Structure 1
Amino acid sequence: MTDTGIASRLHQVMARIRAAAERAGRPPAQVALIAVSKKQPAEAIRAAYAAGQRAFGESYLREALDKIEQLRDLDIEWHFIGRVQSNKTRQIAANFAWVHGVSDPAHAHRLSEQRPAGAPPLNVCLQINLSGEDSKGGVEPSAASELLRTCNALPGLRVRGFMTLPAPADDEAAQRAPFAALRHLRDRLATPGHPLPCLSMGMSDDLEAAILEGATHVRIGTAVFGPRPYN
């Protein structure tokens, strides 16, 4: 994988984001790209950083910590994406700016308590399971209000909004349906004191549908980095 290849793919993804935002009548600046760099080497992250990318998403803590250490000279915004485990909350709270995927009140309490003193609150998006698939994390929509209430009361967390990982779909209408459902849920639960501005949804194959339904963060891996060099 060459640096030029990563830069070119990154620019192509940014062009897709701009086109989708314009189609939705939204400013492209409202949509942040998280380059999902799990299973990618630190050199690939450096290449994307050199091309202008600043936010990177990791899902495997040990691998992420190694890369965070290798890349400390860069002002990267690190996002933890995926399932949170109790024995990993301390290191997640200490090393990441965002967590996409909080769904357990116990994990939320640990992340808040273990956020280092002097650090800003940890930005979190609560994960909502809209498909009902057991393999997907997240709470059911009916449980979102209670989880939100719990997390809003924790001083070490700042709930920014919701995230989801829907089942794959082939056509745009089917792709848009769960993203619209997440937006409607957010609109119903947002308050002036907690506006929940963020919707973390959309990946390489469905980012356009997500942006059309209000995504503020799209999580893109393959379309930026190409195939993973290792599993």
Structure 2
Amino acid sequence: MVCQNVQRIEESIFRACQRAGRKREEIILLGASKYADAEKIRQAYQCGVKVFGESRAQDFLKKLEILKDLPIDWHFIGNLQTNKVKYIIDKVSLIHSVDRPALAEEINKRAEKIQKVQEVLIEVNLGGEETKGGVSPEELKKLFEYCLNLKNIKVLGLMAIPPYEEDPEKVRPYFARLRELKEKLEEAYKVKLPHLSMGMSNDFEVAIEEGTTIIRIGSALFL
């Protein structure tokens, strides 16, 4: 079942890349495994998915223990509380959800302790939704500058969870906006930001057309 899902997703990625004139290698397929048990993650790994993103520190640590025999590339994609940073800092390659100075500061401090430069994305709340994390587009520059001054953090790009729409085309403007925000930061600060983490099960093809590099797929992969 999971393997069939992977195959279907891969075909959709390929088609979207063709439409956008992009290469398949430009897209990281991340299994958003918040609602998947360790066995489902193992199946997805065996079917070719090598990157997984967890959203809750406690659940992540349990799954990590069960799956420690697999060289999974783990990302943290959920809302991250400062008091949970110490539990994940040595276990994830990328944190997608930096949205405030206090969190950036804590990640920097914990990374420094283990002599690591932690790669992160800044999460932007494009729809102004109170139920979602993310810095407002207006505050993005200030947070980006703050992160630039921290030695043990490296910002690789931006992440967003736009408002949900049945019709993926209605989400396109949000994806385009995130890409523009990234390009403006690159121009203003003379930096290269290689990643945009945007696009989920319902709308990842549109996200690919708009420049995403990481798609976070949960239900289409595991259900």
TM-score, length basis structure 1: 0.92
Asked if the contact 2:98–2:134 (Cα under 8 Å) also holds between the matched residues in 1, the reply is: yes
What is the CA–CA distance in structure 2 between the aligned matches of 1:73 and 1:152, rounded to whole Å?
A: 35
Q: CA deviation at 1:214?
A: 0.3
- 1:118, distance to aligned residue in structure 2 (A): 4.1
Residue in 2 aligned with 1:23? 19
Aligned partners of 2:168 and 2:202 also within 8 Å? no
Q: Does 2:112 match 1:93?
A: no
Give the % identical residues. 39
Question: Using the alignment, how far apart are the partners of 2:124 and 2:183 within structure 1?
Answer: 14
- Of 104, 116, 140, the match for 2:100: 104
Q: TM-score, normalised by structure 2?
A: 0.95
Report the Cα distance in structure 2 between the residues aligned to 1:173 and 1:81, rounded to whole angstroms: 24
Which residue, out of 7, 10, 13, partners 2:6? Answer: 10
* 1:217 maps to 2:210: no
Q: Quote the residue 2:131 is aligned against.
A: 135
Q: Distance in 1 between the 2:214 and 2:140 partners? A: 19
Counterpart Cα distance in 1 of 2:66 and 2:166: 39
Q: Confirm whether residue 201 of structure 1 aligns to residue 198 of structure 2.
A: yes
Question: Retained in 2: the 8 A contact 1:36–1:58?
Answer: yes
Q: CA deviation at 1:184?
A: 0.6
Structure 2 contact 97–123 (Cα < 8 Å) conserved? yes
- For residues 15 and 153 of structure 1, the distance between their equivalents in structure 2, rounded to whole angstroms, comes to 41
Deviation at 1:193, TM superposition (A): 4.8
From 19, 40, 47, the equivalent of 2:36 is: 40
User: Deviation string for 1:171-198 (max 9, x for gaps)?
Assistant: 3431210000000111111147521111
SS of the aligned residue for 2:196 comes to strand
1:14-51, Cα deviation, whole Å (9 max, x unpaired): 11111111111111111111101112111111111111
Query: Which residue is 2:59 aligned to?
Result: 63
5+ residue gaps, structure 1, are 227-231
Q: Report the equivalent of 1:229.
A: none
C-alpha separation between the residues in 2 aligned to 1:37 and 1:170? Answer: 22
**Cα RMSD for the two superposed structures:** 1.3
Deviates more, 1:48-57 or 1:189-198: 189-198
Aligned to 2:146: 150
Q: Distance in 2 between matches of 1:77 and 1:18?
A: 22
> Equivalents in 1 of 2:178, 2:73: separation in Å?
25
Alpha-carbon separation, structure 2, partners of 1:21 and 1:165: 21
The superposition leaves residues 188-216 of structure 1 with CA deviations (integer Å, 9 ceiling, x where unpaired) of 11147521111000000000111110000
Query: How many residue pairs are counted as aligned between the two chains?
Result: 221
Aligned to 1:173: 169
State the alpha-carbon separation in 2 of the partners of residues 138 and 208 from structure 1: 23
Contact 1:125 1:161 in 2 (8 A): yes
Deviations 1:88-118 (A, max 9, x none): 0111212211111100111111111102524
Partner-residue secondary structure (3-state), 2:90: helix
1:187 is aligned to 2:183: yes
8 Å Cα contact 1:92-1:111 kept in structure 2: no
Aligned partner letter, 1:155: K
Q: Which runs of no fewer than 5 residues in structure 2 stay unpaired?
A: none
In the TM superposition, residue 136 of structure 1 has moved relative to its aligned partner by 1.2
Q: Distance in 1 between matches of 2:65 and 2:153?
A: 24
